[in-house]
Structure 1
Amino acid sequence: MMQPCNYRQAVRRVTKLRHPNLVTLIGVSPDTLALIYEYPPNGSLEDQLGARDTSNHLSWQTRICICADTCAALMFLHSCHGMVHGDLKPGNILLDSNFTAKIANFGLHSAPSHFPSTGELSFASDVYSFGYVLLRLLTGRSALNLDEVMQNALDGENLSGVLDPTAGHWPFEQATELAHLALSCRDIDSDNRPDLASQVWPVLERMRTEASLSSRSGPEEPSQPPEHFLCPISNEIMRDPHVAADGFTYEALEIRRWLSDGHDTSPMTNNPLSTLDLFPNQALRSMIQEWRQRHNL
């Protein structure tokens, strides 16, 4: 379990992060030392890959975009903030209304660090996990031996036999290149894994450009603000969101007015607040500002 001091550091760190491919912190749970993130409408990549009984499957074009989005988020964490995700998997990749990928459960590790049960936790370990995400997107399978399955398919020139048919007709050259890229990320020797910025990103950026030429346009962004943009007290779009000790995010003016009126309890739960300190949620503030600009508000 995370220690309280580390938890406070994580809250301060995550509220300052803003990237289009990272979910935004909207609250905290001090009692359980948990971080509460937005939950985009299309759920997790794991949910989408497991929905075999629906007709709304992820196309190969969308899957390539998800690969690129995830790579961009990892590069941001690694290069700009020295953070290791440490638990990258389809369940921690969420999809918004346009199926843009957003990584969740980040900000808990700094590199280099050590994870006793699996060895060293590093940028290279994130690359290894990213390779697994690529294999899942290619095959749609959740088997533990996907590395072996893919390598055997490439050696036997039977790649089409392991590609997920619900994604549509993968361009063979792109699928082959993506398969080799995934396996290189999964190299047992961490020194042989590719560098995200110089070796992986250029490939995925080119693939995404090519995929966009044949992909259909996605759904329009909803005109109504997401619920977590609204202050729980005033029910209006926040301009200066702050996280209180109860874990909820409020408009700074509203929560300060509540506290200045002599309240030492949560406006939402009526339970006593462990502290009257407030943390500015800079990431959510930036997200709201961008939404306002897009809607001319």
Structure 2
Amino acid sequence: MFEFYCQYNVFPFKAWDILRSIYPHNEKADEIWRVLAKAKFLEWELTSSEHQWRLQNLKELCENAIREYNFLHEESGDTAPNHLAEQLQLLNEVFEKASEADVPTDVPDYLCCKITFDIFTDPVLTPSGITYERSALLEHLRTVGDFDPITRKPLKESQLIPNLAIKGAVQAYLKEHGWAYNMG
């Protein structure tokens, strides 16, 4: 079982989650997250490069097959119209779509903290309904004052609730967009 967790990188992130839930003020948890995120980003870079290389090779093979098919039909005197340019355009669109997840873009705003503008790692919900990164909000409460940074309403740490829906959305997003590990 341990090999399964390590193989699919579930174990380190689960351990981080447990550490964060037991010790929400632990500064080492943020450092651990940065190390885990960097490792996941490097893993994404490697797999993305391999994926892009395989896609490019497949695309070239498909282009050559389409060109050869059209050439053979032309040579045989087939009167069917030659749609080579149209077929190649369609092939390009298919391969562009296949590589979209590997192209870094902006992370959606709802997955980012309103204080740090980084992707959430430990999102918490305030009574006013705004989600923040736990460590950033706790730092705000300690250094600036006991109020919500956006609504300015009084706020205590005890009022914070983990936002599991956003956390799940972030995990799903990171699973599909490994480049986003480098955004935090």
Same fold at TM > 0.5: no
TM-score under structure 1 normalisation? Answer: 0.24
In terms of fraction of residues, the more helix-rich structure is 2
In terms of fraction of residues, the more strand-rich structure is 1
Larger radius of gyration: 2
TM-score under structure 2 normalisation? Answer: 0.38
